[in-house]
Amino acid sequence: MIRIYKGKIIRVHPNSLADELELKAGDAILAVNDHNPVDIIDLSFALADEEIELLIEHADGRQELIAFDKDVDEELGVEFESACFDGIRQCKNHCVFCFVDMIAPDMRRTLSIKDDDYRLSFLYGNFITLTNLTDADIDRIARLHLSPLFVSVHAIDPIVRTKMLRTKLAASIRQKLDRLEEAGIEYHTQIVLCRGLNDGEVLEQTIDELNRRRPHCLSLAIVPVGVTKHRRDPFAIHQFDRDSARSVIEQVERWQKKIRRRSRQTFVYLGDEFYLMAGLDVPPEKFYDGFPQLDNGIGLTRSFISDWQSIKPPVDDQPISLAVVSGTAFAPVLRSLVEEESRQRKNLSVKVIPVVNDFFGETVNVSGLLVGQDIRKAIRSIGKVDGILIPESALRSGEDIFLDDITLDELRREHDARIEPVLSGSDFRRALADFNSYRNQRVAQTNYTWQSNAAYSTPD
C-alpha cells in the first residue's frame, strides 16, 4: 500500500496565491502535478513549474484538483503544521548531556521531541548528529544541494563521541563529514563541552581537525553543558565553574589567535556563558565575523550591546520607575547598561531583577529558559513600579506563552504595572528612553512557511 503524505495548512497569507485559490486553514496538499511531496523542500521544487495541478484534501475529507498558472518565482503563501509531511525524524541516541531528557515531567509533549532531521537542520539551523543519516539521505542532500547543514560533533575522537552519544554509529563522524564534503556540502558545527569528558586534549584534537576541514566547515561553536535539577541519568556530568571556564577560554583563545592570523576570521567561538561564568568581558563585535551562530547563543551578549549602542532614541523626561527581569547570568550586563543610561537621566529609576530558575534548577541561568512561575514569583516582591520589562527569548517563538504554559496575559492580569517583552538591545534602550510610548508588537507565527525554489538551489 502506497502511503500518501499530507501537507496540512494552518495559515493562508492574505492576498497571496493561495488566498486567490481559496485555500483555507485545515486544507492539506496531497499532490503537485501527480507528485506527492514528503516535505516543504520537495513541495518547493514541485511548485517551481509554471503550470500546476494541485490536489487538495479539504478538512471535511473532500478532495479537489485545482489547475492554475503561476510565475516561476511566485510563492504559494501558506504555512504548514510541520515542515516534514512524513513526520520529523527523531533522534535515536541517548546522549549523556541531552537537555530534552532533563526537562520537568508533565511539560507539553512538543518539548519532548528530539529531532535529528537533516531537513530541519537545513531549513532552520537545528543541529543534527549525523548518526541517523542514511545513504539515501546523503544522496538527496547532494542532489538538492541542501547546504549548509548544522552538525553536532562534540568530539572527533570516535571512542569519546560514542561514549557521549551512546551509539556505535557516533564513531563514524569522520566518514560522514567526508561524505558531505565530497558532495560539496558546507556545514556549521557545535560542541557541547562537558568538563572532564570532551575538554582538554580531546577538545584540542576536535578543534584541530575541524579547522583543517575548512572551507567546508564554516564555523565551530563551543557551548558549556547545561544540567537541570530534573536529570536522572546516572552518568556523571560535571559543569564548569569560574576557574575551569577561564581555562577553556585560554585554550580556545590560542586557536582563535592562530586562525585569525592566517585567515582573518575567528572560526571557533565560545558560548557567552563561558565569559559570563569567568567574569570576563565578551569579545568585540568584529571577533564574531557577522555572528554565524547567533541562534546557538554565540555572541548574543555582544550583539545585544552593539544593538544598544547603535541607537540613541528621543527621551521622555517624565519620571518613570521600571523593573527589568533577567536570568542571573545576563543580569550584570543589563545592570551596566542601566547604570550608563541612569547617569544621564535623573528621573529614571530602574531595578534589574535577576530571577533564580527554580523550575529547572539554579545552575540553569540563561534568560531564554526562564519560566512564567519563576518570573511571577520575582515580580510579586518588587513593589510599585510603572513598568516591567521581561526577556522575549523566554516566550515561545511568535507566541505569548512561557515554557511552563503560563501566558503573558496571565502575568499582566496579576500585576498593576504594564509588562512588555524586550528582545534586542535597541528594544531595551527604546523602552528605557520612553516607556510610555514603547510597545513590543508580537505576531503569532510558525516556522513552517513555504519558500520559493531559489531558497534551496544555492548555498546561503
Q: Among 9-23, 55-69, 331-345, where is mean pLDDT lowest?
A: 331-345
Question: CA-CA distance, 378 to 391, in Å (whole number)?
Answer: 14
Give mean pLDDT, residues 77-105: 89
Same-domain status, 263 and 371: no
Same-domain status, 242 and 350: no
In a domain, residue 200? The reply is yes
pLDDT of residue 114: 82
In a domain, residue 1? The reply is no
CATH of residue 182: 3.80.30.10
- Write out the three cell numbers for 324: 527589568
DSSP type of residue 104: P
Question: CA-CA distance, 87 to 8, in Å (whole number)?
Answer: 12
Where residue 397 falls among pLDDT bands split at 50, 70, 90? confident
In a domain, residue 443? The reply is no
Q: Are 450 and 411 in contact (CB under 8 A)?
A: no
pLDDT of residue 2: 73
In degrees, to the nearest 5, what angle opens at C-alpha 380 toward C-alphas 377 and 385?
140
Same-domain status, 133 and 280: yes
Where residue 125 falls among pLDDT bands split at 50, 70, 90? very high
pLDDT of residue 299: 95
CATH of residue 397: 3.40.50
pLDDT of residue 38: 95
Query: Of 267, 285, 305, which one is at a domain's C-terminal end?
Result: 305
pLDDT of residue 1: 59
Residues above pLDDT 90, as percent of the chain: 76
Where residue 109 falls among pLDDT bands split at 50, 70, 90? low
Give mean pLDDT, residues 277-297: 94
Q: Among 196-205, 425-434, 441-450, where is mean pLDDT lowest?
A: 441-450
Give mean pLDDT, residues 346-365: 92
Q: Among 104-108, 343-347, 424-428, where is mean pLDDT lowest?
A: 104-108
Same-domain status, 298 and 328: no
Same-domain status, 106 and 159: yes
Same-domain status, 291 and 319: no
How big is the chain, counted in residues?
460
Q: Which residues of 205-231 are buried (b: 16+ CB within 10 A; e: fewer)?
A: ebbebbbebeebbbbbbbbbbbbbeeb
Average pLDDT score, the chain: 90
CATH of residue 12: 2.30.42.10
Query: In the predicted model, is pLDDT for residue 84 greater than 50?
Result: yes
pLDDT of residue 456: 29
Could you list the beta-strand ranges (E) of 33-131: 51-57, 63-69, 78-80
pLDDT of residue 112: 64
Query: In the predicted model, is pLDDT for residue 457 greater than 50?
Result: no
Could you list the beta-strand ranges (E) of 149-216: 149-152, 187-193
Query: Of 283, 305, 327, which one is at a domain's C-terminal end?
Result: 305
In a domain, residue 440? The reply is no
Same-domain status, 408 and 427: yes
3-class secondary structure for 223-247?
EECCCCCCCCCCCCCECCCHHHHHH
Query: In the predicted model, is pLDDT for residue 381 greater than 80?
Result: yes
Q: Are 234 and 201 in contact (CB under 8 A)?
A: no
Same-domain status, 118 and 250: yes
pLDDT of residue 447: 39
pLDDT of residue 453: 30
pLDDT of residue 292: 95
Same-domain status, 31 and 48: yes
Q: Are 393 and 367 in contact (CB under 8 A)?
A: yes
In a domain, residue 210? The reply is yes
Query: In the predicted model, is pLDDT for residue 404 greater than 60?
Result: yes
Give mean pLDDT, residues 325-340: 93
In a domain, residue 455? The reply is no
Q: Provide the number of structural domains found in the chain.
A: 3
In a domain, residue 459? The reply is no
- Write out the three cell numbers for 379: 515580580
Question: CA-CA distance, 79 to 14, in Å (whole number)?
Answer: 12
Same-domain status, 63 and 142: no
Query: In the predicted model, is pLDDT for residue 446 greater than 60?
Result: no
Q: Which residues of 379-410 are buried (b: 16+ CB within 10 A; e: fewer)?
A: beeeeebbbbbbbbbbbeeeebbbbbebebee
> What is the distance of C-alpha 264 from the center of its chain?
27
209 vs 341, more confident: 209
Give mean pLDDT, residues 270-282: 95
Query: Of 86, 115, 143, which one is at a domain's C-terminal end?
Result: 86
Same-domain status, 321 and 297: no
Question: CA-CA distance, 427 to 308, in Å (whole number)?
Answer: 8
Question: CA-CA distance, 431 to 19, in Å (whole number)?
Answer: 37
Q: Among 133-142, 223-232, 391-400, where is mean pLDDT lowest?
A: 391-400
In a domain, residue 356? The reply is yes
The whole domain housing 39 covers 7-86
Judged by phi (left if over 0) then psi (alpha if -120 to 50, else beta), residue 36 lies in: beta
Looking at this protein, which amino acid is placed at residue 365?
N
pLDDT of residue 160: 98
Same-domain status, 136 and 278: yes
Query: In the predicted model, is pLDDT for residue 30 greater than 60?
Result: yes
Query: In the predicted model, is pLDDT for residue 220 greater than 90?
Result: yes
Q: What does the pLDDT look like over 153-181, one tens digit per residue? A: 999 999 999 999 999 999 999 999 999 99
Give mean pLDDT, residues 284-310: 94
